[in-house]
Amino acid sequence: METAKRRKYIRMISFLTAVTLLFGVCAVVNAVKANKYRTLMLASSQRAISELCENLDSITVSLQKGLYSSSGPMLAEICEQLNRCSSCAKVSLGQLTNEDMVTDTIYKFLSQVGDFTSSVNKNAEENKPIGQKERESLGKLYEYSQSLSEGLGTVRDGCFDGSVSLEKASKLITSDADGESAYYVDSVNDAEQSLADYPTLIYDGPFADSVLERDAEMLKNENVITFSDARKKAAGYIGAKPTELKRESDENGKLSMYCFSKSGKTVAVTKKGGYLGYITNPDYSGIVSINEKEAVKRAKAYLDKIGYKNMKESYYSIYDGVCTVNLAYEADGITYYSDLIKVSVTLDKGEIAAVDARGYLMNHCYRNVSEPKITEKQARETLSDSLTFLNGKKAMIPTKYGGERLCYELHCKDGKNQEVLIYVDTETGEETDILLLLYSDNGVLTR
């Protein structure tokens, strides 16, 4: 009897132990699932905040360009961009729960942007110019957008590095810029760049994939060279011996090239004509010993040496000890931004680290340029009253649809010394593009 009771007791203890273990395992599994769910939610919210910041940054830039525009068609194009970014921003907001952040303020702002664009578009349909009231609204929207974009950018950075929780982010976004909020808003002004909407070197458009799908204008009448000749040319482009080059896989397509490598450096030569397509080098850094002016000088000298003549530097950027210079073809007083070559020069030894001449190869050709129907003086008369003219020149700029337009590039500044490039068509007198110039220790960029 005692033995039976003992066995019953042992079975009960074993059963309770098993149940306890089962509940423990279930608790662990549920905790893991909950943690995984929270991680996914956090990642989703962080992505939504990042996308929201990107679109608000774009809205700020578009509103600023609108302040400098004096043309109905140009304003209509800017409004199209504003509508697109506002819609994307609302989608990002929709992915954030109410616990993540209070979104009423941002929705109200996006609605005001929508009301403004509707007003401008209505005036455009009735052939009415934008009035003073609209310009005042535009200025207020820009100032608020700039503040909102800066604040959100700081909150986004805080969410990513863990210094700001999403719950705290809600209060920071909707509160006034004082106390702790002021710290986060001010800190963004000290950041080197926003993570979204990076500024770029002027007219990087020719390197877009759509352009590279066209036939290379410069190579149409060139003959195909042999592999042996290509290797000799490739060696010359990087200062090596032909025997030191290793053959890599060829690039075939509209811009077919032989590819070679040496010590991590890659050089591509066009099969037609044997022109340099590009050079890449993943290893270049050291103690800076030359400045950007010397880097620009060496970039121009290198291109002249290998046969790319009449190249004029436009803008440059400096990153990780390397100065990347944009150079465009210039002839008869016209800068052809489509014929663009990017050259990277190391600031330690002044060596050519990288080259990308594909934009030049795809676009360079003889142009039969018509005489302008308006003068530069007439183009200047179209400028907004908020701008002061500095200097001007003729420029052939690429369009969104693969064509080109001859314009007057009018370099201006506003009352706060923000420098702007306004492009006015030499035939129609219409504004075709607006770029904001950004000066920093890292170079001169546009957005």
Taking only the tens place, the pLDDT of each residue in 327-382 is: 999 999 999 998 999 999 999 889 999 999 998 998 999 999 999 999 999 999 99
Q: What would the pLDDT profile of 252-281 be if each residue is shown by its tens digit?
A: 877 899 999 998 889 999 999 999 999 988
Q: What six digits make up the tokens of 14? A: 């074993």
Pairing of strands 334-346, 388-398: parallel
Q: What is the DSSP letter of 129?
A: P
Pairing of strands 431-440, 443-446: antiparallel
CA distances from 89 to 40, 57, 359 (A): 21, 10, 33
> Exposed, middle or buried, 187 (CB in 10 Å: 0-12/13-18/19+)?
middle
From first to last of the 447 residues of the chain, give the pLDDT tens digit.
Answer: 555 556 565 666 665 565 555 555 555 545 544 454 444 445 566 677 778 888 888 888 888 888 888 777 777 788 777 877 877 777 777 666 544 444 566 766 776 777 677 667 666 666 666 667 677 777 778 887 887 777 777 777 766 666 555 555 544 444 443 444 433 334 333 322 332 343 555 665 443 444 455 678 899 999 999 999 999 999 999 999 999 999 988 888 778 999 999 988 899 999 999 999 999 887 666 788 889 899 999 999 999 999 999 999 988 888 878 898 999 999 999 999 989 999 999 998 899 999 999 989 989 999 999 999 999 999 999 998 889 999 999 999 988 767 889 999 999 999 889 999 999 999 999 998 888 888 877 777 777
Q: What six digits make up the tokens of 128? A: 């009415």
CA distances from 352 to 78, 304, 345 (A): 39, 13, 5
Pairing of strands 322-331, 334-346: antiparallel
C-alpha span between 250 and 263 (Å, rounded): 18
Q: What would the pLDDT profile of 280-291 be if each residue is shown by its tens digit?
A: 887 666 788 889
Q: What is the pLDDT of residue 187?
A: 35
pTM of the model: 0.64
Residue 186, phi then psi, degrees to nearest 5:
-70, -30
Q: What is the pLDDT of residue 167?
A: 52
> Exposed, middle or buried, 126 (CB in 10 Å: 0-12/13-18/19+)?
exposed
